[in-house]
């Protein structure tokens, strides 16, 4: 084998050196030139990089190590991917939400006699009929809560804001706000409060009327009847949605049932930690047979009615 006689032959020899896959740069450039010859001469220059990447990806195959392939099937990895997909679905704007049109940004200019330019208005997402999404500015309010020593984390604030928007749009809720977080021994509850939608109130009146008729026909004792107040009144003036994951989709939020007086009376006489499972049994004394969802709803009623602030003398005749 003879040494190259000039620079051209040296460059050609370098291009023809094969890599671990048996491919050479000479072959790659030859294929690239063939593909460029098929392009329009005026746009071929801009397509060099894309065509080169396309040829490289079609030539080389991605080899996944056995460790990575095994890790993808592990339960922890599957759960993480499921949670990430749920977060991505929250970031998508629902079809019924009307976004403001995109406008080219222009720096504000101060008018005559003004030292600083006026701040342009903020355009928030709106529902059909040019109605804004009726929800709390959670990011701004949590900034004040942090000053008071309460913080649930910036990531959770973002996820809860997206979840509140999804719930408001799907169920047409009003006065949507974050009620709070209740810690549990295994999972924590994130609670969203909203005004009872009119359709909930109408359905509830219809259901209660049917239950009263059935109870009278069956001669049910008065102690076994549902004595809870209707939606939109008293302790049931607001509805509450609960989830153990702030990034849960709409299906992951559970609406708590109407609060009944017997739940509150019994819950006041006991002290019991939450587990984080709404279907779980509540132990301890006195006996609470209605489950953790009812126990949580009773505690929410106690908190909401003991934390009201009213001007002095407002309710005095």
Q: pLDDT for 177-197, tens place per residue?
A: 999 999 999 999 999 999 877
Cα–Cα distance, 204 to 132 (Å, whole number): 27
3-class secondary structure, 190: strand
Lay out the sheet containing 174-182: strands in order across: 174-182, 189-195, 238-243, 254-255
Cα–Cα distance, 262 to 290 (Å, whole number): 10
pLDDT at 213 over 70: yes
Instruction: Give the residue-averaged pLDDT of 119-134.
Output: 54
Residue 214 pairs with which residues in a beta bridge?
A: none
Residue 203: phi, psi to the nearest 5?
A: -65, -35
Dump pLDDT digits (tens) for 248-287.
888 899 999 889 999 999 999 999 999 999 999 999 899 9
Looking at per-residue pLDDT, the higher value among 60 and 279 belongs to: 279
Cα–Cα distance, 120 to 211 (Å, whole number): 55
Instruction: Give the residue-averaged pLDDT of 163-179.
Output: 87
With tokens 């922890």, the residue in question is 76
3-class secondary structure, 282: strand
Extended beta strands in 116-259, E state: 126-127, 131-132, 174-182, 189-195, 238-243, 254-255
Residue 196 neighbours by CB distance under 10 Å: 20
CA 213 to chain centre: 41
Q: Residues 24, 15: contact at Cβ < 8 Å?
A: yes
Extended beta strands in the chain, E state: 126-127, 131-132, 174-182, 189-195, 238-243, 254-255
Tell me 77's DSSP state.
H
Nearest to 126 by CA among 71, 68, 168, 65: 168
pLDDT at 310 over 60: yes
At residue 241's C-alpha, the angle toward residues 152 and 193, to 5°, is 70
Q: Is 197 left (phi over 0), alpha (psi -120 to 50) or beta?
A: beta
Grade residue 169 by pLDDT with cuts at 50, 70 and 90.
Answer: confident
Looking at per-residue pLDDT, the higher value among 44 and 288 belongs to: 288
Nearest to 234 by CA among 278, 275, 267, 201: 201
Cα–Cα distance, 30 to 243 (Å, whole number): 59
Instruction: Give the residue-averaged pLDDT of 100-121.
Output: 56
Q: What is the pLDDT of residue 105?
A: 47
Cα–Cα distance, 235 to 91 (Å, whole number): 34
Instruction: Give the residue-averaged pLDDT of 160-174.
Output: 86
At residue 215's C-alpha, the angle toward residues 213 and 219, to 5°, is 120
pLDDT at 244 over 80: yes
With tokens 């969203």, the residue in question is 192
């Amino acid at each position: 084998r003879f040494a190259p006689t000039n620079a051209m032959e040296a460059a050609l020899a370098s291009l023809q050196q094969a890599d671990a896959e048996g491919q050479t740069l000479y072959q790659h450039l030859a294929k690239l030139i063939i593909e460029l010859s098929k392009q329009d001469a005026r746009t071929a220059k801009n397509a060099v990089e894309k065509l080169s990447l396309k040829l490289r990806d079609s030539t080389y195959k991605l080899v996944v190590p056995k460790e990575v392939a095994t890790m993808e099937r592990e339960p922890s990895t599957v759960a993480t991917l499921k949670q990430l997909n749920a977060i991505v679905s929250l970031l998508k704007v629902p079809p019924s939400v009307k976004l403001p049109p995109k406008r080219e940004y222009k720096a504000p200019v101060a008018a005559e006699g003004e030292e600083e330019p006026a701040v342009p208005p903020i355009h928030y997402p709106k529902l059909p009929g040019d109605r804004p999404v009726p929800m709390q500015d959670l990011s701004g309010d949590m900034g004040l809560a942090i000053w008071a020593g309460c913080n649930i984390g910036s990531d959770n604030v973002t996820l809860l804001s997206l979840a509140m928007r999804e719930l408001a749009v799907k169920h047409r809720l009003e006065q949507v706000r974050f009620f709070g977080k209740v810690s549990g021994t295994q999972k924590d509850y994130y609670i969203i409060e909203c005004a009872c939608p009119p359709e909930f109130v109408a359905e509830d009146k219809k259901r209660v009327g049917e239950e009263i008729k059935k109870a009278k026909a069956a001669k049910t004792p008065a102690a076994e009847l549902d004595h809870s107040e209707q939606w939109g009144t008293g302790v049931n003036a607001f509805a509450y949605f609960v989830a153990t994951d702030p990034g849960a989709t709409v299906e992951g939020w559970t609406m708590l049932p109407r609060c009944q007086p017997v739940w509150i009376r019994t819950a006041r006489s006991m002290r019991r930690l939450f587990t984080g499972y709404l279907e779980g049994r509540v132990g301890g004394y006195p006996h609470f047979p209605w489950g953790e969802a009812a126990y949580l709803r009773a505690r929410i009623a106690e908190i909401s009615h003991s934390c009201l602030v009213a001007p002095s003398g407002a309710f005095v005749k």
